[in-house]
Each structure stands twice: as structure tokens, then as C-alpha cells.
Structure 1
Amino acid sequence: MNIPVLACALAAALLAACSKAPSDAMSTDAGAQRGARLRIAVVPKGTTHEFWKSVHAGAVKASRELDVDIVWKGPLREDDLKGQIDVVSSFVAQGVSGIVLAPLNDAALKAPVRAAAQAKIPVVAFDSDLAGDEHVSFVATDNQAAGRLAGEHLGRAIGGKGNVVVLRYQEGSASTQNREKGFLDAVRAMPGITVASDNQYGGATTETAFNKSESLLLAQRAAEGTIAGVFTPNESTTFGMLQALRKTNVARKVKFVGFDASDKLLGALRDGDIEALVVQDPFTMGYQAVKTMAAHLRGERVERRIDTGARVVTRQDLDDPAVKEIVKPDLARWLGE
């Protein structure tokens, strides 16, 4: 009688051990996954403009502080939408921990982001907004508010009267569309100002922006004094317009407010060819985007919207240490440049 009882006891113990094994294995795998080193892909709109170099430097700083790996990869040009979609799809296939993305087009990147979400790869959008709600956070300038700053400053600079023109960037770019809207809302609220043109697009490169700017200034007869002010919403359109204003000999005669900063744009601001620049903080944007992703991956609560700020910079502000820190970050320290 004791032998059957003993056999039953042994069988029960063996059954219990077997039933526990899968649970223990899953627990170990989950623990290993939680303890794995995070690998975060950072995908900018492009890789040539100074703005993106500052974003990259901020992302590197965050990666060092938080002890995570980042992979920086994006299209060369800011009009290579297919290239950016391919980069995102490649990172999804690689199974990175998370993707930090500055979408070239708010609608076209929706499907790749959905694919990432289905693969359990979270996405943080930065710089430019993304359609849908499948990204965990949006880290950027309040672009409409920044555009209003530009409009209010230009309105004051031209004494609240005269014709102004806007050279837009490109369709589908949510960030610049919001800046353009903010600017136009501000100047249209001033009864003495007329928007002479707001339907021309400079495109993604300095060369296309220069060609469109020159055509726009000639069409508006700017050399005859018909235009009081000009606004451009990003680095490439600002530099292209600067070159066109100089070539048509109306630089300084036309009050010019641009967006973003580079060495050449800051030099033109100091020389007086640019009235003011609205500057973002791309270094902080890159830093906060990676920091937000790392926090989310580690189970921390993150804000749905993080505003990284913007301000108007004039010639008189250029020697302000706080401004220098924004417009001339130490890239060499982080990128080895």
C-alpha cells in the first residue's frame, strides 16, 4: 500500500515541476529582456543641415547619460520621403528597442509607424508632428506659436504696414506648415499689412529655395520697393532667400525674418542682411527625444507633448551667452567634429 502512495507522490511532484518549468523560463526570458541594453534608432528628416547636426549632438549626449545605444540614420535630403520610409522599415525589421522619428510627411509616415507599433517597437515623434495616435510622445517646438513670434516681430519691424511675402517650405511638412500658419495669423491681424504672396514653395534644398526666391522677388517687383517684409520657415528656405535678396540688391531694404540658425545665417544677421531669426533648440530637442524614449522603454510615464521652446534672435542678442548656447552648441564634444 505504501508503494502506490509513494508512486503517486513522486508523480505529483514531477508534474508540479514540469508545470512550473515554462513559467520559470518565461520569467527568466522576460528578466533578460528587461535587462537588455536599449538600442534606439534616431531618424531625422535629413542629415546635411546644421539643425540636424545639433539634434544629433543632443541625442548623443542623452545616450551617454542614460547608458543606451543610439543609431543615427536618415535620408541625405529632406525631400527623400521614400528614403525615410525605407529607413524606418529597416529599423522595424532589425527589431530595435524604439524609434525616434522626425517625419518628413505627417501622413505618409503613419503606416510605417503603425507597423512599428504592431511589432511592439514604440515611436517618439520629434520636430514635426505625425498623424494618428500610435506614437507615445511628440517632442518639438510649438511651431504655430513660433510662427506668431516671427509675424509679430516682422510687423513691428515694418511699422505695421506694407506688403509681405512668405516663401513656404514643402507640402506635408507639419512643422513648417504650422510656422507658416502662425506667421500669417499674426500679420493678417495687423490692418496695415497685406500678404502679397503665400503660395510658393522653396523645396528641400538651398538651391531650389534660391531659384524660387529669386523668381518670387522678381514677380513681386521687390527691387521697386513693393515689398516691405519677407518670412521663411526653415534653414534651407532662409538661406535660399538670403542669397536671392542679395542678388537682387534688396537685402536690408526688405526686412527679412527667417527660421533656424547656421554660421552663414548668423553672419548675415550680424551684418544686417537678416532682421531676425526665430531659433529653436535642436540640441535640446534631440536630447529630450532620446530621453523620453528611454524613459518609456524603462516603464516610466512620459508626457504626450513636450515643448522645447523657440525665441526671436536679433543682432543685439548674438553676444548673449544663453543665445550662444542655443545657436552654437559644442558639436565637437559630442560628434567629434
Structure 2
Amino acid sequence: MRTPLLLCAALAIVPLTTAAEKIAMIPKGTTHNFWKSVEAGAKKAGTELGVEIIWKGPLKEDDRAQQIGVVQQFVASGVSGIVLAPLDDIALRGPVKSAGERNIPVVIFDSALRGEPGKDFVSFVATDNRRGGRLGAEELVRLLDGKGKVVLLRYAEGSASTIEREAGFLEVIQQHPGINVIVDNRYGGATTSSAQDAAMNLIDKIREADGIFCVNESTTHGMLLALRQTNLVGKKKFVGFDTSPVLLAALQKGDIQGLVAQNPTKMGYLGVVSVVKHLRGEKVDPVIDTGCVLVTRENISTPAVKEVLGK
């Protein structure tokens, strides 16, 4: 069912009867459930607005060169607009600038790009990631009653979205002197497998810890597998980020105590809406917050959480 917010966004633009604009949608990767939800939202907007959505991105979320090549390919082919989730907040600046020089508008989504929204690119459509990190930290503080040892598993250098989550998490934790972060400099990487390996390499620290925070789908899933592999699952207070079916099942089972949920379907939808509005001469807000919410076993069935989860 279409939410009221999405309905309003859709009604703001009337599809044209001329040849359909071609919108290139370029995610960070194409394997995680998060991106599949983004694609669904983008294609829904494309259908409603009468534009063609071309979905293409790197297979893995650590292939900067491939993502740069995809952007360059779409610029050369002369698409109408690009909606991009940059793998690196610096490395993708050049390709985005090249698009602008060819009069191809770019909307950045999910993860920030260095530059000024509304000037260097049309708009930035994303979760308030720093707030998401704070939500995760506040829940972990509550679960630990304000005291204990904590492990933070980061994602990857250069990923603006997760850097913001990590910063928001540490901002809150630093306000609680009873909590000691014993690991904050390890990265899980782009896949569940690499994150599981990273967690296993930290297993002695994890045994020592009382709580754990992971900053995206792959790090949360990888940590979950490592905890299960070492019979530590359920013995540590564990808060993660993102809500794949596997992670939601683990939450309901009690293996994870909290998940910060984004709204990837809404992100994909509004990314397309924003670039099409710009193409059709309508005003676009330079920053669009798609929201986030903490999901627990206690609130997972509430209307507010169901809306974010698309249930």
C-alpha cells in the first residue's frame, strides 16, 4: 500500500507523454537485501512517473573502479539523469562532475558525496545516518544499564554513510563514562563473509565485551554468524543496523536485541522522484531525510515500525 508521503511525492509530478526519460540508478552493490528494496522503490517511482529505470551497479560494495566505470558509461550514453549511492565520498566526485558538464543531473542517495547538495549535485536523499548511530548507541546504553565493555565493528573506509553512523554511536557512548569501548578500529568489509572473518579475528575481545554494535547489513550479519559459531549468541547485548529477513528473524529469536532500520524502498522512490522533478523544472529540496527507527522485539508490530519495514 502506498504511504501518504509517497502518494504526495508522486502526485507532485505528472508523467509526460513524450519519450520516457532514462534514469540510471547506481547502487553501491547489488547483492544485499537493502539494495533490492531500493530497486523496488525506484522502479515503483519509474512506473508512476513514466520514466525508464536502468539499474546497474557493482556486484560487491568495495569495487570503486567498477562503480566509477558504470557512472562513466551512463554519462557517455547520455541518460536523462543519474541517481547514485557513492562507494567513496571522494573517488566519485570526478564522475559526478563529468555528468554535470554533460547536463546530466545527479541525485546522491544513501551515502554522502563531498560537495554541496543543490550546487554540486541536485539533492542528497538518505537516512540521517548520524542519528541512526545515536539510536543504536542509546539502545545499547539502555541494555547495559550504562556500564560495561563494548565492541564497535566498522564497515569500510571512505563510506560516508557508515562513517556517520560510527561517529553518532561514539558521540553518545562518550557521554557515558561507565561504558568502555575496547575495540573501535576494525572494519568488517563489504561482504558478510569478510565481516564474519573480522569478527572471528576479534573473538577474544568479543568474549570480554558486554555489548556489540555493527553499522550495516553485512557487518551485522557477519557478527551474528560469528557469535553463533562460538556459542556466544544471546550472551552479548547486540545492536545492529539494517533489517534483512535474516536479521529480523534473529531479532525475533532474541539473538539480536535491536536493529536500526532505514527505509530503502522510500530512498529509492524519492531518489527517482527528485531527479525527475529537476528534469521537469520543479524545485527539489537539497537534502531529503528518509528517516530511521529502532526496531526491537517489543515494537516490531507497531504501525510506525511496520511502515518503515514495508509490512
1:70 deviates by 0.8
* Matches of 1:184 and 1:118, distance apart in 2: 39
1:87 aligns with 2:70: yes
1:152 aligns with 2:138: yes
TM-score (normalised: structure 1): 0.85
Which of these residues, 79, 90, 97, is aligned with residue 96 of structure 1?
79
1:250 deviates by 1.6
* Matches of 2:79 and 2:112, distance apart in 1: 22
* Matches of 1:326 and 1:178, distance apart in 2: 20
* Matches of 1:321 and 1:140, distance apart in 2: 22
User: Would you say the 8 A contact 1:47–1:76 is kept in 2?
Assistant: yes
1:68 aligns with 2:51: yes
Give the gaps of 5 or more residues in structure 2.
1-15
Equivalent position SS for 2:202: helix
1:320 deviates by 2.6
In structure 2, the residue matched to 1:284 is 266
Q: Which moved more, 1:320-329 or 1:204-213?
A: 320-329
* Matches of 1:328 and 1:238, distance apart in 2: 20
1:208 aligns with 2:194: yes
* CA deviation map 1:266-313 (0-9, x unaligned): 111011010100000000000000000000000001000000000000
* Matches of 2:213 and 2:66, distance apart in 1: 29
- The letter of the residue matching 2:241 is F
In structure 2, the residue matched to 1:242 is 224
* Matches of 1:198 and 1:34, distance apart in 2: 54
In structure 2, the residue matched to 1:125 is 108
Q: How many residues align?
A: 293
* Matches of 1:186 and 1:64, distance apart in 2: 42
1:248 deviates by 1.7
Q: Which moved more, 1:283-292 or 1:35-44?
A: 35-44
Which of these residues, 168, 179, 192, is aligned with residue 182 of structure 1?
168
Bigger share in helix? 1
Q: Which moved more, 1:129-138 or 1:197-206?
A: 129-138
1:322 deviates by 3.9
1:217 deviates by 2.2
* CA deviation map 1:94-114 (0-9, x unaligned): 000000000000000000001
* Matches of 2:135 and 2:303, distance apart in 1: 21
RMSD: 1.4
Equivalent position SS for 1:316: coil
TM-score (normalised: structure 2): 0.92
In structure 2, the residue matched to 1:40 is 23
- The letter of the residue matching 2:265 is F
* Matches of 1:321 and 1:154, distance apart in 2: 23
Which of these residues, 199, 204, 229, is aligned with residue 211 of structure 2?
229
Equivalent position SS for 1:315: coil
Give the gaps of 5 or more residues in structure 1.
1-32, 330-337
In structure 1, the residue matched to 2:309 is 327
* CA deviation map 1:224-255 (0-9, x unaligned): xx211100000000000001111122211110
In structure 2, the residue matched to 1:261 is 243
- The letter of the residue matching 2:287 is R
User: Would you say the 8 A contact 2:151–2:209 is kept in 1?
Assistant: yes
1:303 aligns with 2:285: yes
User: Would you say the 8 A contact 1:262–1:327 is kept in 2?
Assistant: no
* CA deviation map 1:71-125 (0-9, x unaligned): 0000111011111000000000000000000000000000000100001101000
Q: Which moved more, 1:127-136 or 1:280-289?
A: 127-136
* Matches of 1:328 and 1:49, distance apart in 2: 17
* CA deviation map 1:108-160 (0-9, x unaligned): 00000010000110100000000123211000000001100110110010110
1:328 deviates by 4.8
Q: Which moved more, 1:242-251 or 1:168-177?
A: 242-251
User: Would you say the 8 A contact 2:293–2:305 is kept in 1?
Assistant: no
